[in-house]
Structure 1
Amino acid sequence: MSIITHKALATLFLVAGLSIASRISFAQSNDTIPETTQLGEVMVTAQKESENLQKVPFSVSAIDDRKVEEMNLWQTKDLRGYIPNFYSSNPGDNRNVISIRGITTTSYEPAVATYVDGVNQFGLDTYFFLLNDVERIEVLRGPQGTLYGRNAMGGVMNIITKPKSDELSGFVRTDIGNYGFTRLAAGVKTMLLPQKLYVGMSVLADKLNGYYTNLYNDSDFDKQKNLLVAGNLNYLFAKNWEAILNFKSNTGRNNGPFSLAPDPDSAIENPYEVNQNATTEMVDNSQNISLVLKNTGSRFNFSSQTSYQNNYRYYKAPIDGDFSPIDGVSIVNDYGKDWNTVSVWTQELRLASANTGQKLNWQVGFFGFTSDAPTRQGVYFGADAALVGSPVSNFTTINTNVATGYGFAFFGQATYSLTDKLKLTAGLRSDYEKKKLTVSQEMDFGGDLMVTQPDTTGKVDYNAISPKVALAYQLAPTNEVYGSYSRGFRPGGLTQIGSDPSNPPLFAYDPEFSNNFEIGSKNYFFNRRMRVNVSAFITAISDVQVPGLILPDAIVVTQNAGDMTSAGIEWEINAIPTRNLGIDWSFGFTHATFDKLMLPGESGEVDYAGNRQIFTPDVTSMLAAQWTPQFFHSDELDWMLRGEWLYFGEQFFNLENTISQDAYQIANAKFGVVSDELELTVWAKNIFDTTYIDYAYNFGPSHLGNPATFGVTGMYKF
């Protein structure tokens, strides 16, 4: 561990030295180089106030709307590789596992918080994964508990859609590719009442015939389609007062949501093939509505955000649970709209100083939520139940869980200029949560019900304190170094043990905490032709929550199983060597290992200390070059040629570290003509058709990453 830290320190000091040298050797007037060859300022809201990316005292990646279009980022999972030490994947159902710096989502409580237009996507169920009409994506790396609270122990992903417009503006875009891929997107914004009322609408529809073939009936297995509709209404109802109403609705259908081979070897040897007898269509409907009230004053700013989220997700018919052609286990959850729904209310109030360049900037706030998640799931054991360990066949075990909870938090953060060049940031947050879970179980023998576990209720509550402190020193107008400490947490809760009535039905597990120390440097070089941001970190994670799938019950049991240390380095380099050429290089190295990891073995618990964290490639890297020469001396239309090389290091998918994926590489390309209003391009992803395990469960079933895909894009903006 010390070797890693020393390397990171050496890298930081090297960049700091270059910062001083650049002030001496490359201090030129901005008039000597055309503005088009300089990197512009990047503004972010990482600390819930608009500020320069280079002044934020921790690691933040920002991808603007132009980059989202150029890189064909269609959903949040596409971000992996582009962001240092960021990984995302799913088994085919679009519930993404997101990992930052070895802190990964392993349960329905995310380890990385996702915000869309300021609304916390509370869990994996209420999560919006499609990207459309995006203004900017920010990825905050490292714990962000002070301002963001629960589930920000690894970091935060902020997705900000396009703001209101005084003039009629909009876009129409079409993407068409192989495997029956079609994506249609459009949006429009305008002002209805002069300087009073604004409206915006966007729509996205996509479909895919599927990458997989189901050998059982020789059919396309993972056919899917989505429809995302979003709207916003802005009303300036009084001087300095604005009301913003946002609405989003996603309707998803997936014929084959779990495109899983039974084990990694089968997945690699017979790529994009499954053999499942129980097939179904997954219905996944999500809604999100929020109301924001904002007041912008000369001394104080006030904001209030109220949001409601709802998700209803079920399978129209039983879905295969043994991932094979036998009639062994299938999952049933279509028990009506009263079940398998998640609904969440959140409220945030925030008061902040007006950001006018004074020595002290501060903000204080309140956050509260209520959640309700009644779920009912049946595990059907068919005629071949004996092959999966059940002595009885043709019956269904029905598990009912009614989970409710509420919580609230108070937080505050301030930045004080100790000198003209030295700034201190400090913050503190206090969270309180209470959860209640009622569980029951019954067996259904063709309509004859037998209660095997009566209603049992458990309650748990806990507190979490999330401090933060950071020092930033400006070496030169374009060079800054910083050091920071921050803490994050993932909530604890209650978990069902299993179907054995001789065991206690409920078990409480504690919150998981992360404590992060980071040093870094943010710089512009060569008269703003190059931006170099580099950081080194070490994070201690305590009471790591480890979920385990109990078979054949299909119950997920969560427990605190150990402690972990994650350390590494990362950098992002953006350069414009010439007028028409841009180069981006992001790199991340993470060494995340368990200091203690107690897992059940054949003869009792076994300590797997030293094992690597799951869903955490040890290296992520992206190198991209984009050339945009002018088209026939036109000032409006340019050629565009873009190439990308992505590298992912070795990673593991189970805590025993017996299921893994070796390092692999992916190449992407895009070519065509572009302008501020028009795009007509051809593109290819995974050009060399690299086959790799993208996701695997701890008991073996594995999902591959997407094969080689190619297509065309047409877009018009007005």
Structure 2
Amino acid sequence: MLKIRSALFMSVAALAFAPPAAAQEAATSGDAAVGAGEIIVTAQKRQESVQNIPAAITALTADALAQRGASTANSLQFIVPSTQIGNLLGQTAVTIRGVGLNQGAPGVAIHVDGVYQARPSMGDLLQVDLERVEVLRGPQGTLYGRNANGGVVNFITKAPTDKFEGYALASYGNYDEARLQGVVNIPVSEGVRARLLLDWTKRGDGFIKNIIPGGQDLDKAETMSGRLRVDLLPTSNLKIELKGEFLNSDGPSQYFTLHNYPAPFAIYLNPVLATATYSFEPWRTSANDPVNTRRRYLGLSAVTTLDLGKVTLKSISGYNKLTDDSLSDDDGINVSMFPVRRAYFSKTFTQEFNAAYSDKMVDAVAGVFYLNDKLDHTLDHNLKEGFAVTLLPDNGLPPGSQLLFRIPDYRSEVKAAFADVTLHPTDRLSLIAGVRYSKEKQSQTQQNNITWGPGAPIYTCPLRTNDVEFTSTTPRFGARYEVSSDANVYATFSKGFKAGGFNLYACDNQFNPEKLTAYEGGVKLRLLDRTLTLNLSAFKYDYDNLQISQVIGLARFITNAAAAKVKGLEIETAWRPDRHWMFDANVSLLDAKYASFSNVDGMNPALGVQVLDGKRLSQAPQFSSNIGLGYRTTPGAFGTFTIRADVSQRSTVFFREFNGPLDAQGSYALLDMGLVWDSPNDRLHVRVYGRNLTNKAYIAQMDASDSFGARFVTWGAPRQYGIEAKVNF
């Protein structure tokens, strides 16, 4: 490995000081003109300035992402207001304003180049070489529809250009973390352009250290991914974008660790817990069973756009295939209570057709959407040591027992039609109306069995098929008034819908859809000769039928909380007073509480049914902020230096509806810094970075098991530092 790294950096250096190739026209972050800039987005399925959209939206360009060293979806939570992102056993949970992935399908919809990503884990795949990221906060039930209850995250990849160009990137950091990335852009002909990306990453030293001698360290993996995008321009008004991408990842990347000592009732049921080895320190585990994840992803898409002047016709086709096959130590201790194998295999096809019309008096878009999704899921508990669960306190499960939860076929089919119209009765006033009608059919085939020791399987859930159908109508109404060319105000009313479904584990456990009604108003300003942007939004949600899960015994059950209320205020600003200084900040104040909900806490069943009215929603801190400050020197004979620091703060975050002390991550702050050197000819960029420089330990996600009487958590990344070099050609 050392020889490979040496050769890599020698190659980078050789490219950096070789004679210049074609002149580079791509501006770096510091080359932008004075001012906060104009970011054009397609959040409303048409091109427009982010400052003109009557919604709370954060748009991050490639330069803005590079400034902060944001290379994963997880990084967005420290940039975008009211956003929390965490990963538990490979499922990337995005929560916006307290609304997101509780259970079931994602509550924040992820799209890549317009293609819907059906699995939660797809939110953190292949998000490199991006043109920009758009994060829409609040329900997007009209234009996006399916499971956009909390909002939408749009990843837009870089399009091929008409020049031969590219770059090579290499980085190395602590925890033996290395990256090699290369992009080449090829103008094949006048009407054919291609862009190829290859990316290799490896963390050889896991974040999670095993305290058992010779034990396996966790949270590490080796990943190889790639993307080929080919744009065809057969005529001046027709564009066809073809894209294929893949990802192969192997390693013990998925994990959780115990957060508290098992409750007395759990030790009574399983005395072996009293003598097990525990570690409750951050980034530590005492797991003894093998942990590994094998992930394979394939994505294909085709986007065809026909520009007829005032009318634009578009077709968006997508196909995704994802395989996750993992071994996990689900007890997190040095006793083989129940090692687990989880296997997900999914295929998803989506198709959207839309037509957009635009003139001085009206902007409109209408279309249809179709989704066909198939999931095959297996959860296999191999109880080597035997285990007594709360559902079986008398005899328990002897060594060699097995619990198998099997979903050989879970199909979802969605059909939807939508329309959204913005009228401009005057030059300054815009009136908005939109609606989407969706129909979703689900069919689940399920079979669960349990084996006592060497005995024959007993089918606790004999083979059966469950069917359900959901329909929804989600409207949007609003108005926007342009006070001046640099100031506008807006107010909107909208509804969101997140589909219900069937639990993957418990037999015949159906849960209902979530519904959300949102009221929002905002102000968008450009100030100080357009060097400063200042956006404010205030909102209020009526949130019904929240999907909440609990582990009871060894099965997960899903229920619906009756109602919740959410209200909040967000302030987002960016200031570019000159060519040297850059300042970014946002502040979120959030009041998200259950209005009507009662439940039994498996961690403390003696309390019985608890009335949870007034308890805070999970992943919804009352206060959060992100502040960034950067300075760039004047270009000179030795190039240009840019230094930037970012501080992110969170108040207490709860991960369970009971809001107990062990259910919470207390308030914390994170400090990131970076120093970038750009060579005089702008061919070489060297970045020295540090993330979480104070080495703050904070919980990223949490779950709980009543059989253990304990909570399980994943941790945010510890202190990271390293160096990155990028050569343009």
- For normalisation by structure 2, the TM-score amounts to 0.88
Flag the 1:385–1:45 CA change in 2: closer, same or farther, 3 A. Answer: same
Flag the 1:619–1:264 CA change in 2: closer, same or farther, 3 A. Answer: farther
Flag the 1:349–1:387 CA change in 2: closer, same or farther, 3 A. Answer: closer
Aligned to 1:302: 313
Distance 2:287 2:318 in 1: 40
CA drift at 1:536: 0.7
Aligned to 1:247: 244
**Structure 2 counterpart SS, 1:54:** helix
Aligned to 2:65: 68
Q: Is contact 2:174–2:722 with CA below 8 Å preserved after alignment?
A: yes
Q: Is contact 1:136–1:161 with CA below 8 Å preserved after alignment?
A: yes
CA drift at 1:141: 0.6
Flag the 1:247–1:60 CA change in 2: closer, same or farther, 3 A. Answer: same
Flag the 1:229–1:652 CA change in 2: closer, same or farther, 3 A. Answer: same
Tell me the alpha carbon deviations over residues 465-521 of structure 1, each in whole angstroms, 9 at most, x when there is no partner.
1111121111111111111111111101123673xxxxxx31332210111111111
CA drift at 1:112: 0.6
Q: Which amino acid aligns with 1:596?
A: S
Q: Which amino acid aligns with 2:541?
A: T
For the pair 1:144 / 2:140, whether they are aligned, the reply is yes
Q: Is contact 1:693–1:704 with CA below 8 Å preserved after alignment?
A: yes
Tell me the alpha carbon deviations over residues 220-257 of structure 1, each in whole angstroms, 9 at most, x when there is no partner.
32321211211111112345222211112111112251
Aligned to 1:323: 332
Give 1:286's match in structure 2, choosing from 262, 281, 297.
297
Q: Is contact 1:228–1:250 with CA below 8 Å preserved after alignment?
A: yes
Aligned to 1:520: 522
Higher mean C-alpha deviation, range 532-541 or range 450-459 = 450-459
Aligned to 2:349: 345
CA drift at 1:694: 1.9
Tell me the alpha carbon deviations over residues 498-555 of structure 1, each in whole angstroms, 9 at most, x when there is no partner.
3xxxxxx313322101111111111111101111011111111111111222332xx3
Task: Give RMSD over aligned pairs.
Answer: 2.1
Q: Which amino acid aligns with 1:487?
A: K
Aligned to 1:469: 477
CA drift at 1:386: 4.3
Q: Is contact 2:218–2:255 with CA below 8 Å preserved after alignment?
A: no
Aligned to 1:48: 45
CA drift at 1:374: 1.8
Flag the 1:299–1:258 CA change in 2: closer, same or farther, 3 A. Answer: same
For the pair 1:198 / 2:200, whether they are aligned, the reply is no
Q: Is contact 1:222–1:259 with CA below 8 Å preserved after alignment?
A: no
For 1:661-700, what aligned pairs fall within 5 Å after superposition? 661-674=665-678, 676-699=682-705, 700=711
Flag the 1:130–1:74 CA change in 2: closer, same or farther, 3 A. Answer: farther
Q: Is contact 2:32–2:579 with CA below 8 Å preserved after alignment?
A: no
Distance 2:299 2:261 in 1: 37
For the pair 1:210 / 2:217, whether they are aligned, the reply is no
Give 2:616's match in structure 1, choosing from 612, 619, 623.
612
For 1:312-711, what aligned pairs fall within 5 Å after superposition? 312-315=323-326, 318-333=327-342, 340-353=344-357, 355=358, 357-386=359-388, 390-401=396-407, 402-444=409-451, 445-446=453-454, 448-495=456-503, 498=506, 505-552=507-554, 555-600=555-600, 602=605, 605-632=609-636, 637-658=639-660, 659-674=663-678, 676-699=682-705, 700-711=711-722
Flag the 1:584–1:39 CA change in 2: closer, same or farther, 3 A. Answer: same
Where does structure 2 lack aligned partners over 5 or more consecutive residues?
A: 1-30, 263-276, 706-710
Aligned to 1:14: none
Aligned to 1:154: 150
Give the share of equivalent positions with the same residue, in percent: 23
Q: Which amino acid aligns with 2:470?
A: Y
Tell me the alpha carbon deviations over residues 335-384 of structure 1, each in whole angstroms, 9 at most, x when there is no partner.
xxxxx31111111000111x4x4211111100011111122221111224
Give 1:113's match in structure 2, choosing from 109, 113, 118.
109
Distance 2:116 2:406 in 1: 27
Distance 1:691 1:513 in 2: 35
Flag the 1:302–1:420 CA change in 2: closer, same or farther, 3 A. Answer: same
Tell me the alpha carbon deviations over residues 268-311 of structure 1, each in whole angstroms, 9 at most, x when there is no partner.
96222100111222101111111122111123111111111111
Aligned to 2:169: 173
Distance 2:544 2:201 in 1: 41
Distance 1:372 1:632 in 2: 57
Q: Which amino acid aligns with 2:298?
A: Q
Distance 1:268 1:533 in 2: 45
Aligned to 1:12: none
Q: Which amino acid aligns with 2:674?
A: K
Distance 2:504 2:157 in 1: 39
CA drift at 1:391: 3.8
Q: Is contact 1:46–1:140 with CA below 8 Å preserved after alignment?
A: yes
Flag the 1:268–1:215 CA change in 2: closer, same or farther, 3 A. Answer: closer
Distance 1:519 1:542 in 2: 21
Q: Is contact 1:574–1:584 with CA below 8 Å preserved after alignment?
A: yes
Distance 1:267 1:710 in 2: 29
Q: Which amino acid aligns with 2:63?
A: R
Q: Which amino acid aligns with 1:140?
A: L
Where does structure 1 lack aligned partners over 5 or more consecutive residues?
A: 1-33, 335-339, 499-504
Distance 2:580 2:459 in 1: 71
Give 1:100's match in structure 2, choosing from 96, 99, 119.
96
Q: Is contact 1:411–1:430 with CA below 8 Å preserved after alignment?
A: yes
Aligned to 1:164: 160
Distance 2:284 2:329 in 1: 15
Q: Which amino acid aligns with 2:146?
A: R
Q: Which contiguous aligned blocks of 4+ residues in structure 1 show a shift greater than 6 angstroms?
A: 264-268
**Structure 1 counterpart SS, 2:154:** strand
Q: Which amino acid aligns with 1:454?
A: P
Distance 2:352 2:469 in 1: 21
CA drift at 1:398: 1.3
- For normalisation by structure 1, the TM-score amounts to 0.89
Distance 1:360 1:109 in 2: 35
Distance 1:709 1:496 in 2: 37
Distance 2:551 2:196 in 1: 42
Tell me the alpha carbon deviations over residues 563-616 of structure 1, each in whole angstroms, 9 at most, x when there is no partner.
111111111111123331111111111110000112135476432111101122
Flag the 1:264–1:384 CA change in 2: closer, same or farther, 3 A. Answer: closer
CA drift at 1:681: 1.9
Q: Which amino acid aligns with 1:191?
A: P
Flag the 1:125–1:526 CA change in 2: closer, same or farther, 3 A. Answer: closer
Aligned to 1:31: none
